[in-house]
Amino acid sequence: MTAPRIVLVGPPGAGKSTIGRRLARALNTSLTDTDEMIQQRMGKPCGEVFASLGEPEFRRIEEEEVAKALTREGIVSLGGGAVISERTRDLLADHNVVYLEVSVKEGVRRTSGNDSRPVLAAEDPEAHYRALYESRRDFYESVASFKARSDERSPQRVVAEILSYLDDACDEGI
Protein backbone atom coordinates (compact mmCIF):
# COMPACT_ATOMS: atom_id res chain seq x y z
CA MET A 1 0.00 0.00 0.00
CA THR A 2 1.28 3.48 -0.83
CA ALA A 3 2.05 5.90 2.00
CA PRO A 4 0.01 9.10 2.15
CA ARG A 5 1.13 11.97 -0.02
CA ILE A 6 0.73 14.35 2.89
CA VAL A 7 -0.17 14.40 6.58
CA LEU A 8 -1.75 17.49 8.11
CA VAL A 9 -0.98 18.52 11.70
CA GLY A 10 -1.76 21.61 13.73
CA PRO A 11 -3.73 22.91 16.68
CA PRO A 12 -7.52 22.79 16.94
CA GLY A 13 -9.06 25.26 14.52
CA ALA A 14 -6.06 25.37 12.18
CA GLY A 15 -8.19 24.02 9.33
CA LYS A 16 -6.92 20.44 9.04
CA SER A 17 -10.32 19.04 8.07
CA THR A 18 -11.22 21.87 5.68
CA ILE A 19 -7.80 21.98 4.02
CA GLY A 20 -7.65 18.18 3.99
CA ARG A 21 -10.94 17.88 2.08
CA ARG A 22 -9.93 20.51 -0.46
CA LEU A 23 -6.43 19.09 -0.88
CA ALA A 24 -7.82 15.58 -1.39
CA ARG A 25 -10.19 16.93 -4.04
CA ALA A 26 -7.39 18.83 -5.78
CA LEU A 27 -5.22 15.69 -5.86
CA ASN A 28 -8.13 13.41 -6.72
CA THR A 29 -7.44 11.22 -3.72
CA SER A 30 -9.00 10.28 -0.42
CA LEU A 31 -8.91 11.99 2.96
CA THR A 32 -8.49 10.00 6.15
CA ASP A 33 -9.32 11.90 9.33
CA THR A 34 -8.06 10.17 12.47
CA ASP A 35 -10.70 11.89 14.62
CA GLU A 36 -13.37 10.30 12.40
CA MET A 37 -11.63 6.93 12.74
CA ILE A 38 -11.77 7.21 16.53
CA GLN A 39 -15.42 8.19 16.36
CA GLN A 40 -16.24 5.17 14.18
CA ARG A 41 -14.25 2.80 16.38
CA MET A 42 -15.75 4.04 19.65
CA GLY A 43 -19.27 4.80 18.42
CA LYS A 44 -19.29 8.34 19.78
CA PRO A 45 -17.65 11.72 19.02
CA CYS A 46 -13.99 12.19 19.93
CA GLY A 47 -14.84 14.77 22.55
CA GLU A 48 -17.04 12.27 24.37
CA VAL A 49 -14.36 9.58 24.11
CA PHE A 50 -11.78 12.02 25.52
CA ALA A 51 -14.11 13.10 28.35
CA SER A 52 -15.19 9.59 29.33
CA LEU A 53 -11.84 7.76 29.06
CA GLY A 54 -9.44 10.55 29.98
CA GLU A 55 -6.48 11.80 27.98
CA PRO A 56 -4.02 8.89 28.48
CA GLU A 57 -6.48 6.27 27.19
CA PHE A 58 -7.69 8.57 24.42
CA ARG A 59 -4.09 9.12 23.25
CA ARG A 60 -3.43 5.36 23.28
CA ILE A 61 -6.43 4.78 21.02
CA GLU A 62 -5.39 7.73 18.87
CA GLU A 63 -1.89 6.26 18.41
CA GLU A 64 -3.43 3.04 17.09
CA GLU A 65 -5.69 4.88 14.67
CA VAL A 66 -2.86 7.12 13.45
CA ALA A 67 -0.73 4.03 12.74
CA LYS A 68 -3.59 2.55 10.66
CA ALA A 69 -4.23 5.85 8.86
CA LEU A 70 -0.59 6.16 7.82
CA THR A 71 -0.86 2.91 5.84
CA ARG A 72 -3.57 4.40 3.62
CA GLU A 73 -3.19 6.25 0.38
CA GLY A 74 -4.08 9.92 0.14
CA ILE A 75 -4.27 12.74 2.66
CA VAL A 76 -4.26 12.10 6.41
CA SER A 77 -5.53 14.68 8.91
CA LEU A 78 -4.45 14.15 12.52
CA GLY A 79 -6.19 15.38 15.65
CA GLY A 80 -4.63 18.49 17.19
CA GLY A 81 -2.98 16.62 20.06
CA ALA A 82 -1.75 13.56 18.15
CA VAL A 83 1.79 14.94 17.94
CA ILE A 84 2.28 14.86 21.71
CA SER A 85 2.75 11.11 21.37
CA GLU A 86 6.36 10.09 20.76
CA ARG A 87 5.14 6.98 18.94
CA THR A 88 3.10 9.13 16.55
CA ARG A 89 6.01 11.52 15.97
CA ASP A 90 8.24 8.54 15.14
CA LEU A 91 5.64 7.25 12.66
CA LEU A 92 5.56 10.65 10.94
CA ALA A 93 9.31 10.65 10.27
CA ASP A 94 8.88 9.00 6.85
CA HIS A 95 6.03 11.19 5.61
CA ASN A 96 5.50 14.60 4.08
CA VAL A 97 3.94 16.51 6.98
CA VAL A 98 2.35 19.94 6.64
CA TYR A 99 1.98 21.96 9.81
CA LEU A 100 -1.05 24.24 9.50
CA GLU A 101 -0.18 27.16 11.71
CA VAL A 102 -2.85 29.51 13.04
CA SER A 103 -2.69 32.45 15.43
CA VAL A 104 -4.04 31.99 18.93
CA LYS A 105 -6.68 34.66 18.32
CA GLU A 106 -7.94 32.97 15.15
CA GLY A 107 -7.74 29.48 16.67
CA VAL A 108 -9.89 30.64 19.59
CA ARG A 109 -12.36 32.33 17.22
CA ARG A 110 -12.71 29.16 15.13
CA THR A 111 -13.16 26.85 18.12
CA SER A 112 -15.16 29.02 20.53
CA GLY A 113 -18.60 27.75 21.33
CA ASN A 114 -17.66 24.26 20.15
CA ASP A 115 -18.55 22.03 23.07
CA SER A 116 -17.38 18.92 21.21
CA ARG A 117 -13.78 19.75 22.21
CA PRO A 118 -13.45 19.21 25.97
CA VAL A 119 -9.69 19.73 25.74
CA LEU A 120 -10.48 23.39 24.99
CA ALA A 121 -13.04 23.90 27.78
CA ALA A 122 -11.84 26.66 30.08
CA GLU A 123 -12.96 29.77 31.91
CA ASP A 124 -10.47 31.83 29.87
CA PRO A 125 -10.50 30.20 26.41
CA GLU A 126 -7.72 32.39 24.98
CA ALA A 127 -5.28 31.72 27.83
CA HIS A 128 -6.09 28.01 27.73
CA TYR A 129 -5.70 27.81 23.93
CA ARG A 130 -2.40 29.72 24.13
CA ALA A 131 -1.04 27.33 26.78
CA LEU A 132 -2.17 24.30 24.78
CA TYR A 133 -0.63 25.67 21.59
CA GLU A 134 2.65 26.61 23.27
CA SER A 135 2.95 23.14 24.80
CA ARG A 136 2.56 21.53 21.34
CA ARG A 137 4.26 24.00 18.99
CA ASP A 138 7.71 22.36 19.16
CA PHE A 139 6.14 18.99 18.34
CA TYR A 140 4.32 20.41 15.30
CA GLU A 141 7.53 21.99 14.08
CA SER A 142 9.65 18.89 14.73
CA VAL A 143 7.50 16.66 12.51
CA ALA A 144 6.83 19.23 9.77
CA SER A 145 8.29 19.06 6.29
CA PHE A 146 6.46 22.27 5.44
CA LYS A 147 4.57 24.97 7.34
CA ALA A 148 1.56 26.84 5.95
CA ARG A 149 -0.15 29.69 7.76
CA SER A 150 -3.92 29.11 7.68
CA ASP A 151 -5.29 32.35 9.09
CA GLU A 152 -5.73 35.51 7.05
CA ARG A 153 -5.80 33.28 3.96
CA SER A 154 -8.59 31.53 2.13
CA PRO A 155 -8.58 27.73 2.16
CA GLN A 156 -8.00 27.82 -1.62
CA ARG A 157 -4.84 29.87 -1.12
CA VAL A 158 -3.52 27.50 1.57
CA VAL A 159 -4.21 24.50 -0.67
CA ALA A 160 -2.43 26.23 -3.59
CA GLU A 161 0.58 26.84 -1.33
CA ILE A 162 0.68 23.18 -0.29
CA LEU A 163 0.33 22.02 -3.90
CA SER A 164 3.24 24.28 -4.85
CA TYR A 165 5.30 22.75 -2.05
CA LEU A 166 4.42 19.24 -3.28
CA ASP A 167 5.42 20.14 -6.84
CA ASP A 168 8.76 21.48 -5.57
CA ALA A 169 9.25 18.41 -3.35
CA CYS A 170 8.61 16.09 -6.32
CA ASP A 171 11.04 18.09 -8.47
CA GLU A 172 13.67 17.66 -5.75
CA GLY A 173 12.91 13.96 -5.36
CA ILE A 174 11.63 14.30 -1.79
pLDDT in tens, 80-95: 999 999 999 999 998 9
Which DSSP symbol is given to 73? S
17 is known to lie in a ligand binding site: yes
| Model pLDDT for residues 30-86, shown as the tens digit of each residue | 999 999 999 999 999 988 898 899 999 999 999 999 999 999 989 999 999 999 999
* Residue range 102-124: mean pLDDT, rounded: 73
Q: H or E stretch including 31? A: strand 31-33
CATH 3.40.50.300 given to domain 6-166:
yes
pTM of the model as a whole: 0.90
* Residue 153 marked ligand-binding: yes
Q: Is 167 annotated as a binding residue?
A: no
Residue 136 labelled as part of a binding site? yes
Quote the CA–CA distance of 153 and 132 in Å, as a whole number: 23
15 is in an annotated binding site: yes
13 appears as a binding residue in the annotation: yes
